[in-house]
Structure 1
Amino acid sequence: MGSFLNWWDSVELWLSGLGFVAQTAVVMPVVLALAYGIAVLLDGVLGNGIRLLRRARNRDEDAQ
């Protein structure tokens, strides 16, 4: 864990030494990729949750 934290500190130091435009060019693709991955994950989880709720609701209506 210590080696990872040392690596991360060196990355932060390198990134903070860059100019604003260079920082933006480096950070934005990473942030956008993370945001896209989280959106795809949430879409799948929520889609499956809604599907399960509809299935449960249909079972309840069929039982009545």
Structure 2
Amino acid sequence: MDRIAGWWDEFELWIAGLPFIPQFILVMVLTVPLALAIATGLDRGLDALLRVLGRGSDQ
């Protein structure tokens, strides 16, 4: 676990040391698709749960 924490600390410091524009682009390229994937997964999971409970959107 210490190796993962050490790697993450180095990565975080590398990003923090970048100038603003490359830092912004890198964060957006990584964050937007990740946020979209999480939102889509939560939407589908909640829809499936509500269908099982009989409160789906198709009723």
Q: TM-score, normalised by structure 1?
A: 0.74
The number of residues matched between the two structures is 55
Instruction: Extract structure 1 runs of 4+ deviating beyond 3 A.
Output: none
Where do 5+ consecutive residues of structure 1 fail to align? Answer: 56-64
Query: What is the letter of the counterpart of residue 44 of structure 1?
Result: R
Shift, 1:12, TM fit: 1.1
By percentage of residues, which structure has more helix? 1
Identity of aligned residues (%): 42
Equivalent residues in 2 for 1:10-21 (5 A)? 10-21=10-21
Between the aligned partners of 2:3 and 2:53, the Cα distance in structure 1 is: 46
Larger radius of gyration: 1
Shift, 1:54, TM fit: 2.5
Where do 5+ consecutive residues of structure 2 fail to align? Answer: none
Q: What is the root-mean-square deviation in Å for CA atoms of aligned residues?
A: 1.4
Q: TM-score, normalised by structure 2?
A: 0.79
